[in-house]
């Protein structure tokens, strides 16, 4: 089993707001039923007086992983936003965009501002989503926390569903 | 704390139930009049049967005794209509997805990779039973 984090509650570079990811990271190798209950876990695994600020210590491997995944999600969202400029694609792509915003919220605690996007085609979306799905699978395999692994695997399955539901050609 | 072996046993129990229920649903479905549903049920039955057999081997290789199938299972409701059979199959696959998601959390390495594959397969299969894409398949939140 992966090692259980023993340090104080840690907040990733991007996780200034304690969101679900913090609960995940605090949950160690437990399977994730405690996602979304960071306070209960924190009292048993962390010293409340410890300085949790990012500058006080280095990121854990899982915090770096969350940052990488959120970066990938930001990129996928940017492609979707760009492709939605084609009015006819909006009904097809909106559910996927909503799902990705929920994914970012689950990892970061709040939705990021959508990055500026360059024009994108339907094929760009398909390519971007396939790349994201593979990245999520890889990240789920690498996570030290079982709870984080479960969350990332679920996100990969979400992308699988959305990709399967997309029309083959727009 | 749940161990990897216990989680595999839980997954095996889910596979036993899935094989039973998919077999039952298939037996109630017309191969010609309901061909899409029949084919989806058959594919699901074969996938879960293969997974069940694989898990039995994995658990035995860990030195544990694989959980046997239950003597009987409660049939799902709605077997008498195609809509009911779609709904039962979807509910079953969602249950399997939740089991696989839990298995991901309890495993590492190759076994976790396998569980991630199971979860992705179940999520895709949900669509063949009129499921719609979700943000977090297998992970109720």
Q: Vertex B66, ends B61 and B69: CA angle to 5°?
A: 150
Tell me whether A34 touches chain B (CB under 8 Å): no
pLDDT confidence band for A94 (50 / 70 / 90): very high
Q: What is the pLDDT of residue A115?
A: 64
CA of A31 to nearest chain B CA: how many angstroms apart?
A: 4
pLDDT confidence band for A60 (50 / 70 / 90): very high
The two three-digit tokens of residue A41, written as one number? 């876990």
Alpha-carbon torsion, ordered B103, B106, B110, B111, to 10 deg: -40
B85 phi and psi, to 5 degrees? -70, -40
CA distance B105 to A158: 17
Query: Which of A1, A103, A153 is the closest to B101 by Cβ?
Result: A153
Sort out which chain A residues have CB atoms less than 8 A from B125's CB and list them.
none
Average pLDDT over all residues of chain A:
75
- How crowded is the C-beta side of A141, counted as CA atoms within 13 Å? 14
Q: What is the DSSP string of A46-114?
A: S-TTS---GGGSPPPHHHHHHHHHHHHHHHHHHHHHHHTTSGGGHHHHHHHHHHHHHHHHHHHSSPPPP
Its pTM stands at 0.83
pLDDT confidence band for A169 (50 / 70 / 90): confident
CA distance B115 to A31: 13
SS (H, E, C) A97-142: HHHHHHHHHHHHCCCCCCCCCCCCCHHHHHHHHHHHHHHHHHHHHH
Task: Examine the predicted complex and report whether its ipTM is higher than 0.85.
Answer: yes
pLDDT digits (tens, 9 = 90+) for B32-65: 999 999 999 999 999 999 999 999 999 999 999 9
CA distance A4 to B87: 40
Answer yes or no: do A150 and B132 touch at CB < 8 A: no
Tell me whether B140 touches chain A (CB under 8 Å): no
Give Cβ neighbours of residue B18 (< 8 Å, ≥ 6 apart).
Answer: B44, B48, B52, B92, B96
CA of B8 to nearest chain A CA: how many angstroms apart?
A: 13
CA distance B128 to B112: 25
CA distance A144 to B54: 26
Query: Which of A30, A36, A103 is the closest to B135 by Cβ?
Result: A103
CA distance A142 to A132: 15
CA of A142 to nearest chain B CA: how many angstroms apart?
A: 8
Sort out which chain A residues have CB atoms less than 8 A from B135's CB and list them.
98-99, 102-103, 155, 158
CA distance A18 to A9: 10
CA of A140 to nearest chain B CA: how many angstroms apart?
A: 8
Sort out which chain B residues have CB atoms less than 8 A from A137's CB and list them.
113, 116, 120
- Which residue shows structure tokens 């979807």? B90
Answer yes or no: do A106 and B108 touch at CB < 8 A: no
pLDDT digits (tens, 9 = 90+) for B55-103: 999 999 999 999 999 998 999 998 999 999 999 999 999 999 999 999 9
* Average confidence (pLDDT) over A18-39: 43
- Which residue shows structure tokens 């965009």? A97
Query: Which of A1, A95, A146 is the closest to B133 by Cβ?
Result: A95
Cβ–Cβ < 8 Å for A161, A123: no
pLDDT confidence band for A56 (50 / 70 / 90): low
Query: Which of B106, B112, B126 is the closest to A141 by Cβ?
Result: B112
For residue A102, with 0-12 CB atoms within 10 Å meaning exposed, 13-18 middle and 19 or more buried, which class applies?
Answer: middle
């Amino acid at each position: 089993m992966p090692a259980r984090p023993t340090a104080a509650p840690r907040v990733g570079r991007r996780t200034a707001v304690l969101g679900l990811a913090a609960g995940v990271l605090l949950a160690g190798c437990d399977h994730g039923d405690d996602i979304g209950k960071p306070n209960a876990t924190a009292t048993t695994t962390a010293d409340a007086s410890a300085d949790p600020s990012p500058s006080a210590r280095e990121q854990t491997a899982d915090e770096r992983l969350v940052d990488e995944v959120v970066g990938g999600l930001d990129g996928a969202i940017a492609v979707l936003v760009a492709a939605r400029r084609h009015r006819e694609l909006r009904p097809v792509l909106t559910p996927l965009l909503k799902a990705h915003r929920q994914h970012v919220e689950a990892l970061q605690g709040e939705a990021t501002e959508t990055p500026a996007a360059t024009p994108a085609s339907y094929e760009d979306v398909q390519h971007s989503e396939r790349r994201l799905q593979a990245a999520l699978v890889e990240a789920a395999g690498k996570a030290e926390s079982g709870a984080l692994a479960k969350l990332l695997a679920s996100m990969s399955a979400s992308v699988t569903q959305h990709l399967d539901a997309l029309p083959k050609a727009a | 704390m749940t161990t990897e072996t216990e989680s595999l046993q839980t997954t095996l129990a889910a596979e036993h139930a899935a094989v039973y229920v998919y077999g039952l649903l298939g037996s109630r479905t017309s191969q010609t009049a309901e061909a899409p549903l029949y084919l989806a049920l058959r594919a699901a039955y074969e996938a879960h049967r293969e997974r069940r057999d694989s898990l039995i081997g994995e658990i035995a290789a860990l030195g544990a005794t694989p959980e046997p199938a239950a003597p009987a299972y409660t049939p799902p409701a709605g077997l008498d209509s195609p809509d009911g059979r779609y709904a039962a199959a979807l509910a079953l696959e969602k249950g399997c997805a939740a089991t696989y998601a839990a298995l991901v959390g309890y495993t590492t390495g190759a076994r976790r990779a396998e569980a991630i594959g199971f979860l992705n397969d179940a999520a895709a299969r949900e669509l063949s039973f009129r499921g719609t894409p979700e943000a977090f398949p297998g992970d109720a939140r």
